[in-house]
Structure 1
């Protein structure tokens, strides 16, 4: 049996563990709720005092204000100050979406990145803030929970197999030790290295403020649930310990919102005097108030922003708060993932309501065939619409236009089905309101494509499976009093609630099953679709001449395919190797078209059952790769000389200056020859190129570098070095239209003249183009340079460092970087952008073979 790649295991393991814990939590909750009647739970919810609801809402409001201060202290921790409105917006949206959804495309970290990066923070600073919040929340929950056990050891005594005295002693010792360590680290500003991670604490004043915020946060959230619990509940102080422990276990489970896990712990620790049904009703209300109400408010905020973008309403009001304008502008990018989440939630809701007994059936006359058919049809239609929304949610996340229309249609169908099924005016109104809220997002879904492309990623699959398990558990809970028999499947009457729910579940399961079979049995295509524009060299050449990156000219080497944007003002250059579609560098052309172009590339690769790989992308478009959920792996650094600041004067260039002057005295001469080039010149250069290649074991490289081809070289000026009138070295220079950005591409020289020749060439190029007013000259990329050496670095970094240091048999990586470092360049990172489930080792294997042309071509002398 083949072994799973390490990267695959690492990415799938957390999802699998979360799914198992979710199933175990539901199983425990089902057994706890076995004696409970659903009607009693509904009655308890209706009987909840209005004062308790108002108190829970007020506590939720206070709790979310406290949560926003986590962001404020996190920004102080990294030394950044932002407008208070921006912090409030980023914090509220981050917690409103993150608490409810968990790990997703619109999780708290993703929302914070969009908002904070729009006002000046880079990706690493946002990651530092998110890390601070995670540590502060986890540490605060743990300390409060443990400290509560030290004071009230019986709070969770039923869950732990220890005597109250042992629990109290252990909790007290752990609390004192933890508080002492944290206080010492804060006062001394010492750091703690834990598994390679360097942890430090904020100064005492900030630590005290953070402690107060944490206590307010936990106290408010615990009170919001405590006030909803019925008589017989533990006192508030004891319940804080219960809440902290349940929340901590829910967070560790990685289940979105800790659903099932949190409830099982809370109910399991409540006194026997609290009716289980009443506790279930309180927990359901708490979920609605503490999670769904903030989520709904945050969603409405995004809806209003979409309305503002479409109609201009509210723009004048926003103009009075200029600091918020960049932050609000980023919310449009959250829309696809957020709408996908909402559609998925509506789908799950439709599945669940099909499990509920029909109230109208009791009022139907005996033999009312039309009424029975309406009930049957409405129940089946609700189930099918629910599954349809769950399936189409993946297309919504990818901004597919047809997915939006399908979702609108499915929700309208669900509303009609609700009316047919028991005259469910409330459900129909709820779905109708959902349709109205989704209408302003129409422009966010502007991409053509298939709804089924790339559906089976691990997280989506686990989420769908979780909904299925939850729906099954809900069905058994609601209909547990009905004994099963085969006759249930064929029973049609006004009061056959369980048979109707069974048939609806069968229809939903069959639809999902056949959908899965269809996906798994689709023909495999690895060949890119034929596109007449693949051969449009003139179109790509025109765009290269207008590009602001000279590396765009690598598209003209003749070994690449092109994918153009729909308007035709941007393109991606790529090639196919094995199961990978490898795009080189950033998209070329109009940046406004990059997002749709990247989506089109990844979508077409998925349709061809291939991996989309983006090789040597720069840091200019990091936000785009984050938005597409790509993982970034550093593959090297580009050496860029800032020409206005470069000078050979000073002690550090003394040796190079002397060597340069000596070569000039020895008869070396440098010049730049403008295109077009005479055939005689190109033949002279070919002799040099062939001699240079003759000294190599491997063949001429391609894809990421130029090759000797008269058609290719006709695009560029060529710099040459002569000795006594004879050309001994040359390099072609890629340039932008304005001529201020340049890059050295193909460099060839006679092997017998190698000593110091490239140094002379580079210095001459720098001086020549500096005199012409150019701004930057790229000396090319140093592969595998700048990768992290820390022990906790990902496996790709460790492997890359090993090759960088000891891979001389393949390529002199370390020597190349050392040579370019002589010119004191800026080192700018280059990345490999991949979908999270693609191994960088596998992708780089395809890239290496693409560049080398064959395995033999990987070896260099």
Structure 2
């Protein structure tokens, strides 16, 4: 990758960029509005009172809240069990429980349940017989179930206690009750009607198959338990004098849905603002704030921490290569092994979240005044150099951890080791006067959690390159806003207007906080500036002879013959830093289109895939992977891509291929007729005689003229003497005349073979291609070849009735009725006669919308049109 190259000229227009930024801008605006509402509601709150209330919470109450949290998470895992019943699938309970618990423990805290939860489910369930449609259906079922039941419970509680939201809804109780009951009826009646006959509900573009009544009956207690136990956890922590439990459930449901709709991670700020606003005026805001803080720690942070510790223990045992111990812990880990193995690839994301949280805590703690008597006493006993210096260092180190968390997401080895060093420094600072042993212990635990995952951070990426995505900018902005909120909340009543920020004194805590916030802000700002200035600029260029030779060696060593299309020279090549893997791609329109997944050993392939996606985004382009197979699905999910099915590829297992049996009667007859008519197969190895190339050109030109077509590119080879001279060519001769031909691409060991160009003369008999493929497969079988690929049947295998996706409905419609411009069904039928195994192929794109634009960009490349334009 070159830093000196220029940004491509095909830069997307401003409107397209603004649309891409819209989700981040909306989420950021809602986050700021939540902070503003919190600042208004918490204006009379004293942090010392909040801290005292937290410390005064009885252990019995905390224990009951933890038990309620456990029950709530078991109900969450029940969503997957119910979804599997809905699909008619059955999996071991331990797998469902472990995978579900880990997905929700991470997804709830990160606020990315659709992403992290979906990625975990794919890795758990795809190896146990479930396909992409099943896993998408599970994710959709759980999301819809949660949304519907949360709405119903909230409306039901509001009907029982219509005054629950009186502070926020300016309507009389009778009107609220009537509206809630009508809304419940409007949701329940169609749902029961649809479930009775397993009908389908269509809401605009979304079609859902209603669950059976038995599935619906099993889902109701699960959803009720989820919301009830979650609300109970917070209700137990609230002070006396609050609303009744059912009244509170209505408030809790409204706050939960507002947090989900806002798309703010965890609903932070939005959820708290609604809870605080809905509580009776007689309840002390400080005690409600303390309950909300405890709720966040118990319901979110405790499961997250336990999941991290469990994952680290499991990874540690895998690292040392020892079998799981026979103790209770070992048996539990063994039962949970499928779920834990599935979560392991998500380690960089969740460990980055842990590091981000550690950095935020260190920086924010420097802005707050001492909240315990011991800390206040230490400040008066120790010299200012110790107390003020440790605060400033803690703030700076916390800001550094926030920056490093972005490097951990990118699996940077440098970020990993720097994070360990900064955390170790944080421990030293935390133990310095006035001392915070809890912070030191937490950082030590974080180091122990990080260590077993050393192998997950393998990328030798420059830390300042390709970090500031829109999400990264939003994260830094949210951190800065949070610092400001904490600063003004903590020192709103402190008279420091006449004090200088550089004034040092034992009782000058506001200037101390200002200094700490200034250092943290400068650290974040300088890091952001360096990242922006150091972003690599890359321009796709034609590959050099040396690059093609290196890519060819990597492709030959892989078991994917299609990777040899890198040698056509019409695609740019991006190598991993150690040049052991590559991505071949070409720019078109607003996309950088990679053909297939990364090629090479898995560790280097992951690295170059990340580099490709980041570099494309930095150039203002959309990274797209065209025609990837099932083996690359997990990597695409890790890159945050959405999968759109393109069709299915036909692969024939040659060891079981023959012309015997009633199922091969028509193929056998066609093959026998071709033999009687004088057909024969000849496979010629390169280099080829110029006379042969000239004869093949006549067949090729005849084939193109008959179809009024021209040579294509990108995903196929073109008739070029230099290209054909690289590969064996299979000839179908009839009485010596070449009637058809195909060039063969093979892996280095010859175990996997596929075809590239397939052409025949206009007067070739109908059985020509049948004969060519049949004779070729029989010959390759005798030579020891294991798999023969017939290529992809576009748009085949799409099942909109299962996926409910608009793209699948559109693609299936084209497949059935698009015969006037391409014989989709005929191509599938031709390949079906060889009884292949059909493997799904996908397009991976950043957007969840139907991939019409990337497909148009790909069509432009395949048609051989020049890249660029809109």
**C-alpha distance in structure 1 between counterparts of 2:379 and 2:259, whole Å:** 48
Q: Secondary structure at the match of 1:626?
A: helix
Q: CA deviation at 1:161?
A: 1.3
Q: Secondary structure at the match of 2:729?
A: strand
Decide whether aligned partners of structure 1 residues 221 and 663 sit closer, same or farther in structure 2, where only a CA change above 3 A counts: closer
Give the equivalent residue in structure 2 for 1:232.
241
Decide which moves more: 318-327 or 703-712.
Answer: 318-327
Decide whether aligned partners of structure 1 residues 42 and 561 sit closer, same or farther in structure 2, where only a CA change above 3 A counts: same
2:434 to 419, 422, 430: 422
Q: CA deviation at 1:295?
A: 1.2
Is it true that 1:346 corresponds to 2:345 in the alignment? no
Decide which moves more: 153-162 or 824-833.
Answer: 824-833
Is it true that 1:28 corresponds to 2:37 in the alignment? yes
Give the equivalent residue in structure 1 for 2:724.
713
Give the equivalent residue in structure 1 for 2:6.
none
Is it true that 1:162 corresponds to 2:171 in the alignment? yes
Give the equivalent residue in structure 1 for 2:301.
292
Decide which moves more: 738-747 or 843-852.
Answer: 843-852
**C-alpha distance in structure 2 between counterparts of 1:595 and 1:631, whole Å:** 17
Give runs of aligned pairs for residues 758-797 of structure 1, distance below 5 A: 758=769, 761-762=772-773, 764-765=775-776, 769=780, 776-783=787-794, 793=805
Give the equivalent residue in structure 1 for 2:344.
332
Give the equivalent residue in structure 2 for 1:357.
369
**C-alpha distance in structure 2 between counterparts of 1:242 and 1:459, whole Å:** 31
Q: Secondary structure at the match of 1:493?
A: coil
Is it true that 1:431 corresponds to 2:440 in the alignment? no
Q: Secondary structure at the match of 2:383?
A: helix
Scaled by the length of structure 2, what TM-score is found? 0.86
Give the equivalent residue in structure 1 for 2:7.
none
Which digits, 9 at most, give the CA deviation of each residue in 1:261-302, with x for residues without a partner? 111111211122211111111111111111111111111111
Give the equivalent residue in structure 1 for 2:693.
682
Q: Secondary structure at the match of 1:82?
A: coil
Decide whether aligned partners of structure 1 residues 413 and 651 sit closer, same or farther in structure 2, where only a CA change above 3 A counts: closer
**C-alpha distance in structure 2 between counterparts of 1:685 and 1:358, whole Å:** 84
CA contact (8 A) 1:704 1:851 kept: yes
**C-alpha distance in structure 1 between counterparts of 2:530 and 2:598, whole Å:** 33
Decide which moves more: 287-296 or 420-429.
Answer: 420-429
Residues paired across the two proteins, number: 852
CA contact (8 A) 1:96 1:298 kept: yes
Give the equivalent residue in structure 2 for 1:48.
57
Give the equivalent residue in structure 2 for 1:247.
256
Q: CA deviation at 1:226?
A: 1.7
Give the equivalent residue in structure 2 for 1:108.
117
**C-alpha distance in structure 2 between counterparts of 1:516 and 1:274, whole Å:** 42
Q: CA deviation at 1:610?
A: 6.4
Q: CA deviation at 1:121?
A: 3.0
Decide whether aligned partners of structure 1 residues 49 and 642 sit closer, same or farther in structure 2, where only a CA change above 3 A counts: closer
Q: CA deviation at 1:642?
A: 5.9
Give the equivalent residue in structure 1 for 2:413.
401
Gaps of 5+ in 1: none
Decide which moves more: 419-428 or 429-438.
Answer: 419-428
Give the equivalent residue in structure 1 for 2:714.
703
Give runs of aligned pairs for residues 446-845 of structure 1, distance below 5 A: 446-482=458-494, 485=497, 487-522=499-534, 525-527=537-539, 534-535=546-547, 537=549, 541=552, 544-560=555-571, 571-574=582-585, 582-591=593-602, 594-602=605-613, 612-640=623-651, 644=656, 647=659, 668-689=679-700, 692=703, 700-736=711-747, 739=750, 741-751=752-762, 757-758=768-769, 761-762=772-773, 764-765=775-776, 769=780, 776-783=787-794, 793=805, 798=810, 827-836=838-847, 840=851, 843-844=854-855
Give the equivalent residue in structure 2 for 1:95.
104
Decide whether aligned partners of structure 1 residues 405 and 116 sit closer, same or farther in structure 2, where only a CA change above 3 A counts: same
Give the equivalent residue in structure 2 for 1:69.
78
Q: Secondary structure at the match of 1:829?
A: strand
Decide whether aligned partners of structure 1 residues 213 and 578 sit closer, same or farther in structure 2, where only a CA change above 3 A counts: closer
Larger RCO of the pair (alpha carbons < 8 Å, separation 6+): 2
Is it true that 1:274 corresponds to 2:286 in the alignment? no
Gaps of 5+ in 2: 1-10
**C-alpha distance in structure 2 between counterparts of 1:53 and 1:706, whole Å:** 67
Decide whether aligned partners of structure 1 residues 634 and 666 sit closer, same or farther in structure 2, where only a CA change above 3 A counts: same
Q: CA deviation at 1:32?
A: 0.8
CA contact (8 A) 2:796 2:815 kept: no
Q: Secondary structure at the match of 1:705?
A: coil
**C-alpha distance in structure 1 between counterparts of 2:856 and 2:210, whole Å:** 42
Decide whether aligned partners of structure 1 residues 456 and 786 sit closer, same or farther in structure 2, where only a CA change above 3 A counts: farther
**C-alpha distance in structure 1 between counterparts of 2:576 and 2:867, whole Å:** 36
Q: CA deviation at 1:349?
A: 1.0
Decide whether aligned partners of structure 1 residues 852 and 8 sit closer, same or farther in structure 2, where only a CA change above 3 A counts: farther
Give the equivalent residue in structure 2 for 1:132.
141
Which digits, 9 at most, give the CA deviation of each residue in 1:307-360, with x for residues without a partner? 212234662334797654333333321211111000011111122112112478
Is it true that 1:213 corresponds to 2:222 in the alignment? yes
Which digits, 9 at most, give the CA deviation of each residue in 1:96-118, with x for residues without a partner? 11221112797333333333334
Q: Secondary structure at the match of 1:629?
A: coil
Q: CA deviation at 1:249?
A: 2.0
CA contact (8 A) 1:453 1:606 kept: no
CA contact (8 A) 1:307 1:313 kept: no
CA contact (8 A) 1:392 1:407 kept: yes
Q: Secondary structure at the match of 2:500?
A: helix
Is it true that 1:377 corresponds to 2:389 in the alignment? yes
Decide whether aligned partners of structure 1 residues 663 and 90 sit closer, same or farther in structure 2, where only a CA change above 3 A counts: closer
